[in-house]
Amino acid sequence: MAHPVISTTAPAVKTKLSLDEVTMVFRSDGNSVEVLDRISLEVREGEFVCVLGPSGCGKSTLLNIVAGFIPPTSGAVWIEGEQVGFIPPTSGAVWIEGEQVRGPDPRRIFVFQERGVFPWLTVEGNIGFGLYRLSRQEKAQRIAHYVKLVGLEGFERAYPQELSGGMKQRLEVARALAVNPDMLFLDEPFGALDSITRLGMRTELLRIWELERKTIIFVTHDIEEAVQLSDRVVVLSARPARIRRIVEIDIPHPRDISDPRYLELRDGIFEEIGLAHKI
């Protein structure tokens, strides 16, 4: 009797996001500024990827293109085989001067640098803002789940002006997750926070990511932040941005920032972008 063959090969991880030769040139009054130069990248499903580079190199522009807010000058972005910005004919279309209008996909949520919570809504109101298709009971359950997930129990009826900076940022993350996106795009979301709050928010984000396993693209210019958070760090050059190197962060969470491998990875990125790591 033949015995069944048992595969010992791990299942292939699905590619979630593909960038193919993405280039961006801004033109105005006869002048042009090349911001991105032939960026190609693949991101796996459930992966946490940080995009790192100096200020003004085009990180936020790249994230805006990936999210569908602006089209690239050339190249393309694909998510699960569907071109970002492409609207299938079955869904109807809007045309302006012969060009089909493009826009962000509601399945992917963007968390901006500036706090984007609605000041006129409570914590509950902010988290429930995009849940209009759910029944009242489902909406209440979803809100309660994410209030608990980000540690805002007891503040459900508080308004943003009654919250600390870190609590507002947690609220924005909760609102983003509540609509059950398949991807999260975060543009330096902790940049305006003090260093202690920022460390706490990194821990919170990792805890939530490990529970939800959403695919995350996180833009930062903070090397420590990138190495602490991500599976891989995409290091960009100065403008026009090109990919200098992709660094695999091969250490498990929680990460010990005094671990020799952590320091080796961090210092390698410092050297890659031409910065001394001694002051």
- Three-state SS for the chain is CCCCCCCCCCCCCCEEEEEEEEEEEEEECCEEEEEEEEEEEEEECCCEEEEECCCCCCHHHHHHHHHCCCCCCEEEEEECCEECCCCCHHHCCCEECCEECCCCCCCEEEECCCCCCCCCCCHHHHHCCCCCCCCHHHHHHHHHHHHHHCCCCCCCCCCHHHCCHHHHHHHHHHHHHHCCCCEEEEECCCCCCCHHHHHHHHHHHHHHHHHHCCEEEEEECCHHHHHHHCCEEEEECCCCECEEEEEECCCCCCCCCCCHHHHHHHHHHHHHCCCCCCC
| Predicted pLDDT at 9 | 40
pLDDT given for residue 7 in this prediction: 36
132 half-sphere exposure, CB direction, 13 A CA radius: 2
* pLDDT exceeds cutoff 50 at 1: no
- pLDDT value at residue 68: 87
pLDDT at 8: 39
> 275: pLDDT confidence band, cut at 50, 70 and 90?
low
Most confident of 58-62, 186-190, 204-208: 58-62
State the amino acid at position 57 in one-letter form.
C
Q: Residue range 233-262: average pLDDT?
A: 95
- The pLDDT of residue 194: 82
pLDDT for the residue numbered 136: 94
Confidence of residue 11 (pLDDT cuts 50, 70, 90): very low
Instruction: State pLDDT tens for residues 87-106.
Output: 544 555 555 455 554 556 65
In this structure, of 5-9, 211-215, 218-222, 270-274, the range with the lowest mean pLDDT score is 5-9
pTM of the model: 0.81
At 114, the pLDDT band (50, 70, 90 cuts) reads low
How much is the average pLDDT of 184-199? 84
pLDDT for 262 beyond 70: yes
pLDDT band at 277 (very low <50, low <70, confident <90, very high): low
The per-residue pLDDT of the chain, averaged, comes to: 85
Do 36 and 58 contact (CB within 8 A), yes or no?
yes
pLDDT at 269 over 70: yes
